[in-house]
């Protein structure tokens, strides 16, 4: 069987790739497990040197890798370069901090000595999406390798070139053979991989449906999972917000990766006194954004990753309009053969509409009116999702209180759009998943937190 890599900006086939047979997959997993038996004994100094070398490789190839992303999933090249640079940063972060993060922790008890050790567990399966085809993988891979684990990757079927490039980068950096392998397989083969005796844990970033299936299978086999799923991030805009700062952050947050981000701003909940001014400025700035060829450095918004995803997004928009939302900008498909969808603004959005209840994975903003602060927070929390959120107010203490205590999300930013950072834990609550990536908490997800007690 083959899988096609298709350029979403043109509809043209880039290249076909042959999927691996079951036996090829099993042989690769066995090879990775064998590599782990030695890799787990490596020193933090060895791991650190190789992670820094991998960062160097990424930086040296960033233009090439950004072009590959643009061709396979439509990411504007300037954003692709930034993504590769961020991958390098997470490699350097764990190169600098893994040793201290996984150092033995002395616990005083009646024993002569007792402590907690953090030890690698083996081969981790990563099931990853197409929207950040390098960053999603490296934010798992860097801490996994730093902790002494090894990994195998099942990447999204529309970015096979990116998936194989990651394997090349690991090899080019000088890591031992087989500490990481890409598995070119379809989604229907994931369960067989989870069943393999050498797979110790699974991390998935993707849809709720995919997360549920993976968690169910891993649960049957008592294998740990970390899930980062969908989001419908709410940005609460209060009456004392700095309007220019707020609108820019809200537009930038909505158009991250052409709107195809789990932590992209999606619902803008604005208190009534500021609603009209916010809406007008927001529409003006969205209208000014340039949609076009992702290989053009002036492009702000590229195509959606696939035509079927674009069509699904458009249906959510049209269903919301039929339910009473008003389309103030965009909302029309101009080319059926390519995957472009214009920056779109919906107002008068209310609960019960797809634009409120569902994740809109594209450049579509839902503006929602709130009567006051309490109402705005209630609307923000009225979601099955809980990944990220933001609050905009000139009163920083007020914003901090709301972000820390009232917003139901895995992260909440004040006067800035939500983004991931290698230094900070990243993940969600409710149907946005569980577990954490990045930071101290991320590297400790897939280790044996081992008690050692000496009488």
Residue pLDDT, tens place only, 320-373: 999 999 999 999 998 999 999 999 999 999 999 999 999 999 999 999 999 999
What class is the 2-229+432-454 domain?
alpha beta
Annotation marks residue 12 as catalytic:
no
| Overall average pLDDT of the 59-68 stretch | 98
pLDDT interval class at 99 (50, 70, 90): very high
The count of other CB atoms within 10 Å of the CB of residue 119 is: 13
- Bridge pairing between strands 105-106 and 233-237: unpaired
Q: What pLDDT sits at residue 131?
A: 97
> What does the pLDDT look like over 163-190, one tens digit per residue?
999 999 999 999 999 999 999 999 999 9
Domain 233-421 has CATH 3.90.1150.10: no
The residue from 262, 369, 412, 445 that is catalytic is 262
What is the number of residues in the chain?
455
Catalytic: which of 91, 150, 162, 228? 228
Per-residue DSSP letter, 119: E
pLDDT tens track for 267-281: 999 999 999 999 999
- Please state, in angstroms and as integers, the Cα–Cα distance from residue 229 to each residue in 51, 254, 337, following that order: 27, 17, 29
Residue-level pLDDT at 379: 98
pLDDT at residue 54, rounded to an integer:
99
Question: Residue 228 catalytic?
Answer: yes
Q: What is the pLDDT of residue 264?
A: 96
Structure confidence at residue 188 (pLDDT): 95
Q: In angstroms, rounded to a whole number, what is the distance separating the alpha carbons of residues 68 and 70?
A: 5
Q: Determine how many CB atoms are found less than 10 A away from the CB of residue 100.
A: 9
With beta carbons less than 8 A apart as the criterion, state whether 388 and 267 touch.
no
pTM, entire model:
0.97
Enumerate the domain spans of the chain: 2-229+432-454, 233-421
Strand-pairing partners, residue 114, are 453
Sign of CA dihedral 213, 218, 222, 223: negative
């Amino acid at each position: 069987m083959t899988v096609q890599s298709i350029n979403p900006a043109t509809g043209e086939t880039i290249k076909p790739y042959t999927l691996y047979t079951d036996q090829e997959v099993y042989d690769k997993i066995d090879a990775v497990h064998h590599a782990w038996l030695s890799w787990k004994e490596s020193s933090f100094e060895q791991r650190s040197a190789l992670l820094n070398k991998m960062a160097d490789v990424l930086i040296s190839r960033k233009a090439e890798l950004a072009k590959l992303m643009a061709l396979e999933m439509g990411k504007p090249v300037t954003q692709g370069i930034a993504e590769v640079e961020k991958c390098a940063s997470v490699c350097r972060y764990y190169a600098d901090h893994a040793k201290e993060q996984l150092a033995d922790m002395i616990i005083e008890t009646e024993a002569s000595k007792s402590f907690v050790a953090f030890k690698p567990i083996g081969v981790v399966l990563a099931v990853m999406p197409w929207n950040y085809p390098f960053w999603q993988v490296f934010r798992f891979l860097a801490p996994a390798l730093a902790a002494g684990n090894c990994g195998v990757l099942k990447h999204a079927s529309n970015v096979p070139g990116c998936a194989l490039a990651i394997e090349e980068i690991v090899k080019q950096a000088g890591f031992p053979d087989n500490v990481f392998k890409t598995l070119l397989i379809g989604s229907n083969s994931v369960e067989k991989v989870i069943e393999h005796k050498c797979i110790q844990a699974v991390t998935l970033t993707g849809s709720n449906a995919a997360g549920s299936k993976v968690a169910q299978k891993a649960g049957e086999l008592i294998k740990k999972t970390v899930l980062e799923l969908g989001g419908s991030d709410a940005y609460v805009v209060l009456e004392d917000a700095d309007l220019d700062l707020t609108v820019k952050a809200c537009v930038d947050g909505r158009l991250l990766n052409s709107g195809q981000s789990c932590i992209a701003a999606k619902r803008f909940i604005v208190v009534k006194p500021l609603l009209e001014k916010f809406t007008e400025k927001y529409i003006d700035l969205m209208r000014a954004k340039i949609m076009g060829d992702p290989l053009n450095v002036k492009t702000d918004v590229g195509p959606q990753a696939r035509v079927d995803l674009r069509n699904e997004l458009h249906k959510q928009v049209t269903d919301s309009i039929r339910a009473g939302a008003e389309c103030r900008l965009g909302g029309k498909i101009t080319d059926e053969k390519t995957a472009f969808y214009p920056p779109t603004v919906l107002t008068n959005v209310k609960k019960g509409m797809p634009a409120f209840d569902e994740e809109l994975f594209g450049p579509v903003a839902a503006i929602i009116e709130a009567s006051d602060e309490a109402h705005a927070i209630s609307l923000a929390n009225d979601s099955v999702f809980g990944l990220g959120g933001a609050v905009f107010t000139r009163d920083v203490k007020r914003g901090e209180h709301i972000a820390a205590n009232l917003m139901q999300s895995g992260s909440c930013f004040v006067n800035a759009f939500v983004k991931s950072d290698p230094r900070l834990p990243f993940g969600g609550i409710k149907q946005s998943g569980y577990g954490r990536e990045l930071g101290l908490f991320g590297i400790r997800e897939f280790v044996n937190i081992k008690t050692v007690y000496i009488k």
